[in-house]
Amino acid sequence: MKLKRFIKIILLIPAIWLIAGQSAGATPDFDNLTPNTYEKKEFKENTDYLHEKSLYENKKEIPEEQKDLTFTKKNLDPLKEVKDQLFDGGETTNNTITAKADQLQLFSDSKQESFLKAEEQTPTEQDNKLIYLYIILLIIAIGVIMGFLIPRMAKQADN
- CA dist., res. 20 & res. 14, Å (int): 10
- Look at residue 129 and tell me if it is in a domain: yes
The pTM for the full model equals 0.24
- Look at residue 156 and tell me if it is in a domain: yes
Residue-range definition of the domain harbouring residue 140: 123-159
Q: Find the DSSP H helices in 28-124.
A: 48-51, 53-57, 64-67, 78-86, 97-104, 111-120
Number of domains composing the chain: 1
Range 88-102 average pLDDT: 72
- Look at residue 145 and tell me if it is in a domain: yes
Q: Rounded mean pLDDT of the chain? A: 76
Which pLDDT score is estimated for 137? 96
Reported confidence tier of residue 3, pLDDT bands at 50, 70, 90: confident
- Look at residue 55 and tell me if it is in a domain: no
Reported confidence tier of residue 136, pLDDT bands at 50, 70, 90: very high
What's the pLDDT tens digit per position in 10-66? Answer: 877 777 766 766 666 666 777 777 778 878 888 777 776 666 666 666 677 888 888
- Look at residue 148 and tell me if it is in a domain: yes
- Look at residue 137 and tell me if it is in a domain: yes
- Look at residue 144 and tell me if it is in a domain: yes
Reported confidence tier of residue 118, pLDDT bands at 50, 70, 90: low
Q: Say if CB 70 and CB 64 are below 8 A apart.
A: no
- Look at residue 127 and tell me if it is in a domain: yes
